[in-house]
Structure formats: C-alpha cells, structure tokens
Amino acid sequence: MTATWVLRCLVVSANERLIVFEHKYRSFQQWESKSGEPVGIEIKVHDRVVSCIAIGKDGSTFATGPRDKALRLWNAKHGDPKAH
C-alpha cells in the first residue's frame, strides 16, 4: 500500500539547493535537492494546515504561514525556530 497526501505548497531556494514543502497535515519538511534526502526532521508545529512557505533570498531563513495566521520564521540550516 502506498501512502498518499496532498501537496499544498512547495518552494525551492534561489540557489536550488533546498526544497521546503508542506508535508502531510500541519507540518513541513526540508529536503536537499541534489541528494533527495531530508534535512533535519519533519516539523509539526502549526494548529492548521500550512498554506504558504517562503525562503529568504540568501537561503538562511524560511517562513511558514498556516491557516491559523501564526506566521513563523525558521533557520533553514537546522530547522530551528527563529526568535520573533
């Protein structure tokens, strides 16, 4: 049996090295584009579906925006939340 889920949003960094996408429900995952390997762990922190993701121009920060309107900033290298 194959697991399936709906991909709601996906973004690729400007240097094309990192892919971040909404993964399953209310979570997101980073992936290394060349190897196809996940970077860090799946992060599930939002109370609602993640509806948008953006990566900063330098690739060091990305933001997730869920339907609960709780925008969060993340360190792209480690996947840790950034201070508000």
25 pLDDT exceeds 80?
no
19 pLDDT exceeds 50?
yes
Overall average pLDDT of the 35-56 stretch: 78
Q: What confidence score (pLDDT) does residue 1 get? A: 47
Overall average pLDDT of the 1-19 stretch: 73
> What is the biggest distance separating any 2 CA atoms in the chain, rounded to whole angstroms?
42
Beta carbons within 8 Å of 18's beta carbon, 6+ residues apart: 12, 30, 31, 32, 33, 39, 55, 59, 76
Residue entry with tokens 């991909």: 7
In this prediction the pTM is 0.69
